[in-house]
Amino acid sequence: MSIVHDYLDANQERFVAELFEYLQHASISTQSERKQELLACVEWLVAHCRSIGLTARAVETSGNPVVLAQTPYRPGKRPHFVLYGHYDVQPPDPLSEWVSPPFSPVIENGFIRARGASDNKGQHFAHLKALEAYLHTGTELPCDITIMIEGEEEVGSHSLPTFLAAHKAELACSALVISDTTIPAINLPGITCALRGLVSAEIHVIGPNRDLHSGIYGGAVENPAMVLCQLLARCRDEIGDVLIPSFNDTVRELSSEEQADLARLGGDETAFCQKLGVTGTLGLPTLNVPMKTTAKPTFEVNGLAAGYAGEGIKTIIPSSAVAKISMRLVADQHPKTAFNALENYLRSLCPANVRLEIAAGFLAAPYSLDSTNPYLSAAISALRVAFIIPVLNDHKSLSGSPRVDS
Ligand SMILES: [Zn+2]
């Protein structure tokens, strides 16, 4: 392995220069007028993968191309892993907030500043350089690797499901590595083992066929805005727990190792509140912020609209009211089941003198990796080697040894 490490050390400067080239491409997927720049980025990426010794191609989709790169074919059967990344970036607006141009990378205090440096070009570029170190030193890889870099992550990955279905055989693998999350701190590397899922929905309460005068009709006609507020209020209690029947039934308890990891991420709750301008946090005082924001399901009102909220007063019973809501799910909740539980609950509560319409929006399943997964252990070992310090999820090497302050 030392030949690989030596190669990585000896070529650091060139790697950074190449990453800067990659970062100079304004591959903004949200703005269709930037399509040519996005395609130029794809062309650069394919050429770069080939220069490393990978077979690489840009695969057309109904949206932006997906770059597929593979380690060279070798006879024999080895485990196959897929690395995921995305070459598209968010628009850098407002430009006046940037202290240096977003597509002219600079290094400041050891950090690269450029649009896409940490989301997500930097991460998968590191994977590419690791592969280059193996391939250019003639070191045999213990596995086959496919790198899949898409160009629509920032706009919802609309083409990805069709792409995945069409390339199912080529992408069949032992494990998929997604380097598109953060680490807790530079001195506390860690692997994201779980992500919350999502259900979003729009709830309409429809009453009279027009806004009514509250002096003439109030007391005889139900108020859709009141009904909506009463329905929403019964979905969550004052400490944030979701009250929808059966919603919490499949929530998996945290393992003691997961609890230990989250406890280590405690941080400063007072600073957290100050930063956000709030006087305290929601939820049980026995839970720290990382536990509340990663291990608990939620019910949130994202938007609420009804009646008159302009200048002065207008004493009406609004004809309808609408709320947009989202629910974060944890393992092992299922988005469709959660949506059905919400719909059934609201229908059971809604009075018969108004009409209720509920439409599901975005549904995404939660994800949680078993802490005993052997691939996770392998990834932790790799991270430990790279950072030379203990890794958050690494319970074996941490027990008995001093822990890292985050
Ligand atoms: Zn990303």
69 CA to middle of ligand 1, Å? 19
Write the CA distances from 5 to 80, 129, 187, 292, integer angstroms.
Answer: 23, 11, 21, 40
Q: Quick check: 129 pLDDT over 90?
A: yes
Name the band, by pLDDT with cuts 50, 70 and 90, for residue 257: confident
87 CA to middle of ligand 1, Å? 9
> Quick one: which of 73, 68, 87, 46 has its CA closest to 166?
68
86 CA to middle of ligand 1, Å? 7
Q: Collapsing DSSP states into helix, strand and coil, what is residue 84? A: strand
pLDDT confidence of residue 395: 66
> What distance in Å separates the CA atoms of residue 244 and residue 124, rounded to the nearest whole number?
40
Write the CA distances from 361 to 229, 296, 356, 389, integer angstroms.
Answer: 20, 21, 16, 43
27 CA to middle of ligand 1, Å? 13
110 CA to middle of ligand 1, Å? 21
Q: What is the mean pLDDT of residues 313-332?
A: 97
270 CA to middle of ligand 1, Å? 29
Q: Quick check: 119 pLDDT over 90?
A: yes
Q: Quick check: 126 pLDDT over 70?
A: yes
The CB-based long-range contact list for 123-127 (8 Å cut-off, 24+ gap) reads: 123/85, 123/179, 123/180, 124/83, 124/84, 124/85, 124/86, 124/149, 124/179, 125/15, 125/18, 125/19, 125/22, 126/179, 127/83, 127/85, 127/177, 127/179
Name the band, by pLDDT with cuts 50, 70 and 90, for residue 104: very high
Distance of CA 18 to the CA centre of its chain: 27
Q: What is the mean pLDDT of residues 350-361?
A: 98
158 CA to middle of ligand 1, Å? 15
243 CA to middle of ligand 1, Å? 33
pLDDT confidence of residue 406: 26
| Residue 371 or 50, more confident | 50
Characterize the bridge pairing of strands 212-213 and 367-368.
Answer: unpaired
Q: Quick check: 405 pLDDT over 50?
A: no
104 CA to middle of ligand 1, Å? 20
Exposure class string for 118-127: b at 16+ Cβ within 10 A, else e: ebbbbbbbeb
| pLDDT 10s digits, 189-228 | 989 989 999 999 999 999 999 999 999 999 999 999 999 9
89 CA to middle of ligand 1, Å? 8
102 CA to middle of ligand 1, Å? 16
Q: What is the mean pLDDT of residues 351-366?
A: 96
> Quick one: which of 194, 169, 158 has its CA closest to 86?
158
> Quick one: which of 137, 134, 120 has its CA closest to 71?
134
- Mean pLDDT rounded to a whole number for the chain: 93
Name the band, by pLDDT with cuts 50, 70 and 90, for residue 372: confident
Out of 24-28, 345-349, 383-387, pick the least confident.
383-387
Q: Quick check: 320 pLDDT over 90?
A: yes
117 CA to middle of ligand 1, Å? 10
Name the band, by pLDDT with cuts 50, 70 and 90, for residue 238: very high
> What distance in Å separates the CA atoms of residue 102 and residue 96, rounded to the nearest whole number?
10
Q: In a 10 Å sphere around its CB, with 0-12 CB exposed, 13-18 middle and 19+ buried, how is residue 42 labelled?
A: buried
| Residue 349 or 268, more confident | 349
193 CA to middle of ligand 1, Å? 16
385 CA to middle of ligand 1, Å? 25
Find the helix or strand (DSSP H, E) in which 316 lies: strand 316-317
| Residue 267 or 244, more confident | 244
Q: Collapsing DSSP states into helix, strand and coil, what is residue 330? A: coil
Task: Find out whether 336 and 363 touch, Cβ atoms under 8 Å.
Answer: yes
Characterize the bridge pairing of strands 175-178 and 80-86.
Answer: parallel
Write the CA distances from 210 to 169, 307, 379, integer angstroms.
Answer: 56, 11, 61
pLDDT confidence of residue 404: 32
Out of 49-53, 179-183, 245-249, pick the least confident.
179-183
pLDDT confidence of residue 264: 86
pLDDT confidence of residue 403: 30
| pLDDT 10s digits, 142-193 | 999 999 999 999 998 999 999 999 999 999 999 999 989 888 888 889 899 8
118 CA to middle of ligand 1, Å? 8
> What distance in Å separates the CA atoms of residue 224 and residue 217, rounded to the nearest whole number?
13
> What distance in Å separates the CA atoms of residue 239 and residue 42, rounded to the nearest whole number?
47
Name the band, by pLDDT with cuts 50, 70 and 90, for residue 101: very high
Task: Find out whether 149 and 139 touch, Cβ atoms under 8 Å.
Answer: no
pLDDT confidence of residue 247: 98
105 CA to middle of ligand 1, Å? 18
> What distance in Å separates the CA atoms of residue 262 and residue 121, rounded to the nearest whole number?
28
> What distance in Å separates the CA atoms of residue 399 and residue 264, rounded to the nearest whole number?
13
349 CA to middle of ligand 1, Å? 40
Token pair for 377: 């252990």
116 CA to middle of ligand 1, Å? 8
Q: Which residues surround ligand 1, an ion (CB under 5 A)?
A: 119-120, 180
- Specify the length of the chain in residues: 406
